[in-house]
Amino acid sequence: MDISIVQLNTFMYAWIGLAIVILPIQFFITAPYGRHYNTAWGKSMSNRWGWVIMEAVSIIGLSILFLGAPGEKSLFAWVAYGLWALHYVYRSFIFPFRTRTKDKFIPIGIVASAIFFNLINAGTNGYYLGYLETYTNDWFFDLRFIIGIILFITGMLINFFADNYLIHLRNGNPNVYLIPRGGLFEYISCPNHFGEILEWIGFAIMCWNLPALGFAVWTVANLVPRAWSHHKWYRKTFSDYPEKRKAIFPGFL
Ligand code: NDP
């Protein structure tokens, strides 16, 4: 099936529009996994394997489309593919085995909706990078590439170190939650979500195409409300939670 750039972009406008509609709704419906886990969404499965399955879709989907596309690819397309792969190989096959969440569950409904979300985002980005891209080597000297890759790497490091800190915080006991302290945690409750948003905004600037922008907008639509729910939960759970700390954007929200 051949999809033209006009068709793909038309779809992307609709997909981005949907994210903008869903963003405010997500402030009222907290996705029930992690600390917000409950059984209201029906049957559950192992949290660890749920993460592996839902996140692996992203790297497998992107790889099938990108690597399976005929013809030569630009060097930049390989760089973009490599960065996506770096993030998602870690997120799918390493992160779930590092979290201290043994015997925890995740609703199958959450896993299914994440699979759908990842299929669309990996599908649109993979199709663009495999079949439609027209980057030349001059792109590596473009300000958009330079700003984008700096944001991507900065966001990735913030996300990795914040997740790493949280993983070690509970000292092995899956049911313990503590107040995170130090570094960016002094300013916001969820530096891991902030880093992830920075990362995909950087990717969108670096790639300068609508599928990459779509993924960044959806990441904002998912993670800003999730960080807000985490922040409310922290305030409710710990009476000594730092007053001035914001949810996700230092000094702002
Ligand atoms: P959380 O911050 O809720 O949890 C990260 C890990 O740390 C979990 O294992 C969690 O355990 C543990 N943890 C968190 N806070 C504490 C605490 N105060 N005390 C002890 N342990 C703690 O992250 P998410 O589950 O929301 O997301 C995980 C990663 O996936 C993040 O990097 C996020 O950016 C990314 N993500 C990306 C999305 C996207 O749209 N691109 C969507 C969702 C997530 P437990 O699970 O038991 O609570």
Render pLDDT for 18-73 as a digit per residue (tens, 0 to 9). 999 999 999 999 999 999 999 989 999 999 999 999 999 999 999 999 999 999 99
- The residue whose CA is least distant from atom 44 of ligand 1 is 223
Chain CA centroid to CA 61, Å: 15
CA of 25 to the centre of ligand 1 (A): 20
The H or E element that residue 46 is part of is strand 44-46
Q: Is 2 exposed, middle or buried (0-12, 13-18, 19+ CB in 10 A)?
A: exposed
- The residue whose CA is least distant from atom 15 of ligand 1 is 166
Q: Can you read off the two tokens belonging to residue 203? A: 């990717």
Tell me the β-bridge partners of 46. 105
User: Structure pTM?
Assistant: 0.96
- The residue whose CA is least distant from atom 47 of ligand 1 is 34
User: Pocket of ligand 1, candidates 196, 235, 241: which has the most ligand atoms within 8 Å of its Cβ, to mutate?
Assistant: 196
Of 235, 240, 185, 211, the closest CA to residue 81 belongs to 211
User: Pocket of ligand 1, candidates 55, 111, 117, 163: which has the most ligand atoms within 8 Å of its Cβ, to mutate?
Assistant: 163
pLDDT given at position 199: 98
The H or E element that residue 44 is part of is strand 44-46
Work out the percent of the chain whose per-residue pLDDT is above 70: 100
